[in-house]
Amino acid sequence: MSREQGLRAWAAALAAELPPLTSSQAAAVARIAARLNAIHSQGPAEPASHLDDAAAPSPVP
């Protein structure tokens, strides 16, 4: 399983345990996803090592 697939699986499992989003929360998530998709489709101009820490799943207490 690739890192991306692992993160997607983690996010799906987490989402299944959370209450539904409000419409404004869903809109914010959609905007963030659109930005990430745009950035991903362009490819990084420089190494994005700072994103590795932010994208890694954190343990849930």
Residue 10 has phi, psi (to 5 degrees) of -60, -45
The pLDDT assigned to 55 comes to 52
Q: Per-residue pLDDT tens for 16-38?
A: 999 999 999 999 999 999 999 99
Q: Which helix (H) or strand (E) holds 54?
A: helix 49-55
DSSP 1-61: --HHHHHHHHHHHHHHHSPPPPHHHHHHHHHHHHHHHHHHHH--SS--HHHHHHHSPPPP-
Higher pLDDT, 35 or 60: 35
Whether pTM exceeds 0.75 = no
- Report the percentage of the chain scoring pLDDT > 90: 54
What does the mean pLDDT of the chain come to?
81
The pLDDT assigned to 40 comes to 84
Name the residue with tokens 């994208």.
55
